[in-house]
Amino acid sequence: MTTTLTRPAVPKSAERKSREARRRFSGSAATTLTWLLAFVFFAPVIWLVMTAFKQESVAASNPPVFFFVPTLDQFAAVLGNGAGAYFLNSLIATGVSTVFVVLLAVPAAYAVSIRPVKKTQDVLFFFISTKMLPVVAVIMPIYVIAGQIKALDNIWTLVVLYTAMNLPIAVWMMRSFFQEVPSEVLEAAAMDGAGLIKTLRTILMPMVTPGLAATALICVIFAWNEFFFALNLTAANAATVPVFLVSQMTSEGLFLAKLSAASVLASLPVVIAGWVAQKQLVRGLSMGAVK
Amino acid sequence: MATTLVDRHNLKHHQLKDTPKGISKAEGWRRRGPLLPALVFTIIVTQLPFLVTIWYSLRNWNLLRPDGNKFTGLQNYADIFLDSTFRSSAVNSIVITLGCVFLAMVLGIIFALLLDRKFRGQGVVRTMLITPFLIMPVAGATLWSVSMLNPSFGLVNWVISLVGIPPVDWTAQHPIVSILMALVWQWTPFTMLLVLAGLQSQPKDVLEAAQIDGAGWTKTFLWVTLPALRRYIELGVLLGTIYVVNTFDQIYLMTAGGPGTASANLPFYIYQRAFLGFDIGQAAAMGVVVVIATIIIATFALRLIFRSFDTKD
């Protein structure tokens, strides 16, 4: 890797001191730079939250106003605008699809890790390849078929689609967690004659609970934020939060502050979940490849 | 925190140990059993509609024309190759995807390097940096198109006015740049987290050895850190591409593919043909072409993915 030259590193004390000082200086410079960049990168979020607490006329002023009397008017307006029904739809679509994903993915992951089927590699290949297929290529038949079976504008249609959308990721993730279970534990269980259900319930699941939480978190993020299916397949009854957000953009009048308040409310659940579970996030996003 | 690319040996290990050549038929089905519900469900929901798409693509079917819906063979495909908007959308897809993944990766590496040190407020800074990924994409897109990039009261124009640059009508004059801003902002946390995991898995003694050898920061980065990060960067590029290539929200909300079709990517253009033009046959054929292209690219990409998951160093 590196050329390892042997040079005993015993610098004179004065030299060491100056090097130390330089390092401390560059360290604090790096810290300042880090904070500065983080602030710039985070600024749109701050701006979004600030705008949500403004009156419309203040929100759309030029130059921008940084000091103002905060108001909850916009939040009240958003909630009074029937946001509840959309949140309920999102909650159902996200919650139920995540439960389905877990119920389907855990046994499937078991079958590609602990007691693998013959063509494990092909199965994994198939699951991940469905994530690569562009959604637009299947939206028309889904739309037409859903229309024929009267499933348009129905929250269960979204539940089914979100389950299919997240299932491949969940299978990959759960597989990576199962593979960390020491094989001795499983051998011992097999000796005791424990079947699939019993092994899963009493031995595997307790050991991979953090993994299950990471998997569920990723499914929740993607389902909660999904827009394309919701836009095309729902209308008045089953529309979810992203669709509601878009409806806040009206062509007439000022809507910026209200839109910002709605954005804050819409993003809050996932932002808090992600903040709390930062460690799980990276593993989930890499489908289990990175711990 | 011991961080490694999982699996690598695990998969091989398990297979060698657990899949003897001649497992009995009954045992084979017992192993397949738990897999079948997920597999059958995925095939029904993702593969069957695609077969129907192929069927639609061979028909001349516009929902606005009641006399339509007859078999036309490959006419729709022939039309695609004469459609210059399809070509420009394909180019936009490539530009947006590669541009976003590249810029997000560069920024992600910078942020990860800065975060991979002990300093006051490390946790707070990391929390701030991952937040854009957690903001609902629809909210992020409207935040950028309205609050940040609006020509008259957007924050970006105010900032550049401080250094004397005249206001810019971002989404009209530079639609793709605007979309990239929102996308890179959203995806940088993703690459940052992957690279950070890679950095933290670096054995510290190697770094110390390099330092004792008198290697400067640049040398250490280029010859020690970067090679060690290679798999993580590859993984980030691949997964990032999978996610970003299907971008729809930002384009729909920020530019609606405009001005004209200047910033439409393939998902948006196909959506337009299907749901605004009601040209099912034509849109289906485009979908099929995109899928074929994806399969070709994915065959290479998947090989790379399996390498990052399975191979030993």
Residue A191, judged by CB atoms within 10 A of its CB (0-12, 13-18, 19+), counts as: exposed
A240–chain B Cβ distance below 8 A for any pair = no
Of A60, A107, A132, the CB nearest to B153: A60
From chain A, pick out residues whose CB is under 8 angstroms from the CB of B136.
224-225, 241-242, 245, 263, 266-267, 270
Contact across the interface for B119 and A31, Cβ inside 8 Å? yes
Contact (CB, 8 A) for A175 and A113: yes
Whether residue B259 has a cis bond before it, omega within 30° of 0:
yes
Residues of B (134-153) whose Cβ lies below 8 Å from A? 134-139, 142-144, 146-148, 152-153
The answer to whether residues A218 and A97 touch, using CB atoms and an 8 Å cutoff, is no
- Looking at residue B309, its pLDDT comes to 61
* Closest residue by Cα to residue A260 from A7, A32, A64: A64
Mutation target among B15, B35, B270 for the A interface, most CBs of A within 10 A: B35
Q: What phi and psi, each to the nearest 5 degrees, are found at residue B48?
A: -60, -50
Residues of B in contact with A10 (CB under 8 A): none
Higher pLDDT, A12 or A219: A219
* pLDDT score at B181: 95
Whether the CB of A251 is below 8 Å from some CB of chain B: the reply is no
Of A48, A130, A260, the CB nearest to B42: A130
pLDDT band at A4 (very low <50, low <70, confident <90, very high): very low
**Given CB atoms, is A250 within the 8 Å cutoff of chain B?**
no
Write the pLDDT tens digit of every residue in A207-226. Answer: 888 889 889 999 999 999 99
Give the mean pLDDT of A252-279. Answer: 89
Distance in angstroms (rounded) separating the CA atoms of residues B137 and B190: 14
- Checking if the pLDDT of A201 tops 70, the result is yes
Show residues of chain A in contact with B266, CB under 8 Å: 134, 136
**A123 with B39: Cβ contact below 8 A:** yes
| CB-based contact, B158 to chain A, within 8 Å | yes
CB proximity A166 to B under 8 Å:
no
Summary mean pLDDT of chain A:
85
Interface check B125 vs A, CB under 8 A: yes
Nearest CA in chain A to B162: A63
Each domain of chain B, given as residue ranges in start order, spans 8-23+75-310
* Contacting residues of A for B221, CB less than 8 Å apart: none
Put simply, whether A68 touches B (Cβ < 8 Å) is no
This prediction has a pTM of: 0.86
Q: Is A61 on the interface with B (CB under 8 A)?
A: yes
Choosing among B17, B23, B27, B46, which should be mutated to test the A contact, i.e. which has the most A CBs within 10 A? B46
Residue by residue, DSSP assigns A242-277 as HHHHHHT--SSS--HHHHHHHHHHHHHHHHHHHHHT
The answer to whether B266 contacts A121, with C-beta atoms less than 8 Å apart, is no
* Three-class HEC string of chain B: CCCCECCHHHHHHHHHHHCCCCCCHHHHHHHHHHHHHHHHHHHHHHHHHHHHHHHHHCEECECCCCCCCEECCCHHHHHHHHCHHHHHHHHHHHHHHHHHHHHHHHHHHHHHHHHCCCCCCHHHHHHHHHHHHHCCHHHHHHHHHHHHCCCCCCHHHHHHHHCCCCCCCHHHHCHHHHHHHHHHHHHHHHHHHHHHHHHHCCCHHHHHHHHHCCCCHHHHHHHHHHHHHHHHHHHHHHHHHHHHCCCCHHHHHHCCCCCCCCCCCHHHHHHHHHHHCCEHHHHHHHHHHHHHHHHHHHHHHHHHHHHHHHCCC
For residues B115, B117, B122 and B126, what is the CA-based torsion angle, rounded to 10 degrees? 20
Please report which confidence band the pLDDT of residue A39 belongs to, taking 50, 70 and 90 as the band edges: very high
Chain A contacts of B210, Cβ < 8 Å?
Answer: 2
Judge whether B214 and A7 are in contact, CB under 8 Å: yes
Domain positions in chain A: 13-52, 76-285
Alpha helices in chain A (DSSP H): 13-52, 56-59, 73-80, 83-111, 120-132, 136-148, 155-178, 183-191, 196-198, 205-207, 209-225, 228-233, 241-247, 256-276, 278-285
For position A44, what pLDDT does the model report?
A: 95
Confirm or reject contact between B213 and chain A (CB < 8 A): yes
Residues of A in contact with B11 (CB under 8 A): 120-121, 179
Residue A180 makes CB contacts below 8 A (sequence gap 6+) with A208, B6, B10
The yes or no reply on domain B8-23+75-310 and CATH 3.30.70.580 is no
Which residues of chain A does B7 touch, with a Cβ-Cβ cutoff of 8 Å? 176, 179, 288-289
Q: How many CA atoms lie within 13 A of B295 on its CB side?
A: 7
Question: What is the mean predicted confidence (pLDDT) over A51-72?
Answer: 87
CA distance B128 to B116: 15
For residue A23, the distance in angstroms to the closest alpha carbon of chain B comes to 11
Residue range A154-178: average pLDDT?
92
Cα-based angle A146, A151, A157 (whole degrees, multiple of 5): 90
Token pair for residue A16?
Answer: 């060491």
Confidence band, pLDDT 50/70/90 cuts, at residue A42: very high
- Are the Cβ atoms of A225 and B138 closer than 8 angstroms? yes
Question: Which residue in chain B has the smallest CA separation from A166?
Answer: B42
> A183, B197: Cβ pair inside 8 Å?
no
CA B222 – CA B64 distance, rounded (Å)? 59
Of the spans A73-82, A133-142, A259-268, B113-122, which averages the highest pLDDT?
Answer: A259-268
**Are B18 and A249 inside 8 Å of each other by CB?**
no
CA angle B245, B263, A43 (to 5 degrees): 75
Looking at residue B288, its pLDDT comes to 92
Chain B nearest CA to A74, separation (Å): 16
pLDDT of A38: 94
Q: Which CATH architecture has domain A76-285?
A: Orthogonal Bundle (1.10)
Which ipTM value was assigned to this complex? 0.86
Which residue shows structure tokens 């289906």? Answer: B284
pLDDT at B307: 66
**Chain B residues within an 8 Å CB radius of A270:** 134-136
Mean per-residue pLDDT, A10-36: 73
Tens place of pLDDT per residue across chain B (313 aa): 333 333 443 444 444 444 455 567 777 887 888 889 999 999 999 889 999 999 888 988 887 777 767 788 888 898 888 999 999 999 999 999 999 999 999 999 999 999 988 888 889 999 999 999 999 999 999 999 988 998 888 899 999 999 988 988 998 999 999 999 999 999 999 999 999 988 888 777 777 777 777 777 788 888 888 888 888 888 888 888 888 988 999 999 999 988 888 999 999 999 998 888 888 888 999 999 998 888 888 777 767 666 666 544 3
In contact, B3 and A91? CB cutoff 8 Å: no
Interhelix angle B8-18/B280-310, nearest 10 degrees:
90
Chain A CB within 8 Å of residue B274 CB:
yes
pLDDT in tens, A212-263: 988 999 999 999 999 999 999 998 889 999 999 998 887 666 788 999 999 9
